[in-house]
Structure 1
Amino acid sequence: MPRFEPFRALRFVAEDLEPLLAPPYDVLDDADVDALQARSPHNVTFVDVPRGGPDRYVRAAQTLQGWVDTGVVALDDTASFTIYRLRFTDASGARRDVAGVLGALEVVDAPTQGGAHGVLPHERTTPKDSTDRLELTRATRANLSPVWGLSLAPGLAALLAEPGEPVGRVVEDGVEHVWERVTDPARLRAIRDLLASDDVLIADGHHRYAVSRTYRDEVRAATGREDTDAETTLAFVAELVADQLSVEPIHRHYTGVEVAALREALERFFVLTPVEPRAGSLVLLTADGAWRLDPRPGAFDGVRALDGLWLEVALEGLDVQVAYHDGVEEALDAVADRRAVAAVLVRPPGLAEIQRTAREGLLMPPKSTFFTPKLKTGAVLRPLAG
């Protein structure tokens, strides 16, 4: 089972955190970064999304060190966990109060490398260049944004119900983000022991976790040690229960294929019924209309009940390129603008399938889940000492 440890956090010294924080780097485009950096010369994107030439990572590290030297950020006196609360209204209109904990999660070997259980992936990942994050980690010697994990250990939400010491609050886009520091030794021990009692499933941040594994291996090779900070990585962990999850779908956009060929392939597995395009159903969108996709009897016998997996089976052997986007309007616009030949609206997997993925060591198709809302980067940074 994985280690999950408190650490001395690096935090901004400011009453108002809103100008300083940012969404995760991988959801930002250039315009987003421009807007964030216009808020403050100390916005975390100056470190987390470095710009420029090959020296940008060194300059990011210099910026972070400059903030330390001038008191823009400061290191906590003692090790802590940080409770991170997210309060919002989800896509169904239900009020949510999600509570997780930020700490240092053990970096374990990949299952393909014979790694032990403890920290498990939940979906296959698409190819992605990890050089940027690795170079940034090497230069800054810090974890800047957390991996999102789901603990299979029951009782974490209850353990986090009691407030900690308030250290920050931001309300943005209808989401209240609250951070509370926990330093009481008994409570630290209770959180650590509970999370060490069962597996943690990676919900978001598979690539970040893989980068942490590469960095750990580099530090081991350079030092001959297996007791450095590189053995763990910054993670937000919440309990894998329904009221602590807000999961939205990631829809499929298809190119490189004729609509007729795509439709023919789908019709072998699905009955197509004309409908109005809407979330909550498996729906094919083309320039000519929208059709609900209902599985034909027996078409997916022996196949897990995942929309993404059904589509993979139905389109196997068809020369088609697929891209992934959240939002029904984005799918409609992509088809209308001819940026996609067609799109398919999918449904997010249910809690039972997510739990099955974890317990049976299975993997979902790429981009099966979109966990919301996105965590803020910058409220808690984790230095990586030797």
Structure 2
Amino acid sequence: MAEIQPIRGWRYGAGLSAQIDRLVSPLFDVVSPRQREALYQNPLNSIHLSVPRGDDPAGQALARLREWQQAGVLRQDELPGIYVYYQYFRLPGSPREYCRKGFMCHIRATDWAENVVLRHENTLPAAVNDRAELLARTEFESSATHGLYRDEDFDLEPYLDEAMRSPLYETEEDYQGARDVLAVIQDADVIRHFQRVLAAREVILADGHHRYEGSLAYRQARRAAVGDAYTGHEAWNFHLMYLTNAAADDLRILPTHRLLLDLPGIADAAELLARLEPYFTIITLDDPYDLPERIAGKPWAFGLYLGEGEVYKIRLRPEVHAQLDWPTTEEVKNLDLAVLHFFVLEKVLGIVGSEAQRQWPGVAYVRNFPECLTRVNKGEARAAFITNEVSMAEVERVCHSGAVMPAKSTFFFPKTIGGFLFSSIADEETNAPFTDVFRA
């Protein structure tokens, strides 16, 4: 099953640790243009490595990396370790402080067909190529993807908690309001225990499908280049991943609502409701802010907001569910979002097939509920479909069925941050000191 390895992590030098809040950055696929421009103003911010810009972005990242390494901006730890990463956060409307516990290390990059790392969504080729090019030029990973393993006994958590008694550094508050803390485990016996636990498990990829596939593409190219000299121990066989326990209560998945910017072929709200009626029961409500509560925990139920005075709860009529004839598994067909995409996007709006829906520019994916209402009120969108969150159990069922979810089904919160820890997959890491100690 999963093979993990400790790494000799690259981190910002000791003199910069106190500035870590100014050096970390959001992941490349969630950073907004406004955030991006603000971060670029800091010449030492990690965004210059994770989302480089210019005529030759990957080349710019490589030049910046070499400059930082030579100047001591980034320094490599001498001993290999597993890096413990905790994120403390709160959710709107709740007084509870959550703590998502996990650790960062290298994991062998295995093809999807090997069923070691499992995916739950498809990728866009252009984004994969972008990540693969950056990795090929720099041989450096600036942000960990997020993987999930399941351990009902919580075998590793005591070691994580112990390491957290001596943190390396922490943020005051990152861009999403979370407090991030980093520590390291360098005890060889403990690291080997982590390896044994993960060797008995598969990993579900929560976030970072494009970066992971970029690693697969680079690994395939390097393996083809070395031919018969391939050993399997080369550093480029591995990928930086943040691993968390799927059994933990602090693993949160937030809903992603669907904002319809266009309703092709539909003149007004009355016509939309008439087209929905054969598939859904429709209940008129007074207050749009009641929608999340009215649909909470109800399968195949959605909020529908069409503007002032046009607030509805809709729920699929059970007898029509059999019409969902996409060539996928029952685990996917039972998802709320599969129901929404099939009966609303396909049957009502005529956007036929999951691939056409992924490419259709008439839908926006919005996580902020009030934003959905505001954009409809401003005329920026014609309808907002409010959804429930996907559960971890549903993610696991879909992954084990071998299928993938509709686009933008999950939003694991909080996101990991870039720049907290870097790792190298360059050739010199293959036989770095102590590497043999941890090989399978």
TM-score for both structures, normalised by structure 1: 0.92
Distance verdict in 2 for CA 1:24–1:271, change over 3 Å: same
Paired residues of 2:53 and 2:60 also in contact (CA < 8 A): no
What RMSD in Å do the two structures reach over aligned CA positions? 2.1
Asked if 1:287 is matched to 2:300, the reply is: no
Who is 1:163 aligned against? Answer: 163
Sequence identity percentage: 30
Q: Secondary structure at the match of 1:186?
A: helix
Aligned positions of 1:113-262 closer than 5 A: 115-125=113-123, 128-154=126-152, 155=154, 156-164=156-164, 165-172=166-173, 173-224=176-227, 225=230, 226-254=232-260, 255-257=262-264, 258=266, 259-260=268-269, 262=272
C-alpha distance in 2, partners of 1:306/1:125?
20
Who is 1:101 aligned against? Answer: 103
C-alpha distance in 1, partners of 2:127/2:169?
33
Give 1:128 deviation, angstroms.
5.0
Higher strand share: 1
TM-score for both structures, normalised by structure 2: 0.81
Q: Secondary structure at the match of 2:292?
A: coil
Who is 1:89 aligned against? Answer: 90
- Identify the range of structure 1 (29-38 vs 18-27) with the bigger mean alpha-carbon deviation: 29-38
Give 1:50 deviation, angstroms.
1.2
C-alpha distance in 2, partners of 1:195/1:214?
24
Asked if 1:68 is matched to 2:69, the reply is: yes
Aligned positions of 1:6-25 closer than 5 A: 6-13=6-13, 14-16=16-18, 17-25=20-28
Please list the CA deviations of residues 122-150 of structure 1 after superposition, one character each: whole Å capped at 9, or x if unmatched: 23446653332222112211111111111
Q: Secondary structure at the match of 2:304?
A: strand
Give 1:31 deviation, angstroms.
2.0
Who is 1:343 aligned against? Answer: 384
Q: Secondary structure at the match of 2:420?
A: coil
C-alpha distance in 2, partners of 1:264/1:241?
43
Q: Secondary structure at the match of 2:216?
A: helix
Structure number with larger C-alpha Rg: 2
C-alpha distance in 2, partners of 1:384/1:79?
13
Please list the CA deviations of residues 191-216 of structure 1 after superposition, one character each: whole Å capped at 9, or x if unmatched: 12111211100111111111111111
- Identify the range of structure 1 (333-342 vs 40-49) with the bigger mean alpha-carbon deviation: 333-342
- Stretches of structure 2 lacking an aligned partner (at least 5 in a row): 296-301, 323-329, 352-361, 428-440
Please list the CA deviations of residues 155-201 of structure 1 after superposition, one character each: whole Å capped at 9, or x if unmatched: 24455232254211002153210000110011111112111211100
- Stretches of structure 1 lacking an aligned partner (at least 5 in a row): none
Please, which of 369, 386, 405 is the counterpart of residue 364 of structure 1? 405
Asked if 1:310 is matched to 2:313, the reply is: no
C-alpha distance in 2, partners of 1:124/1:291?
31
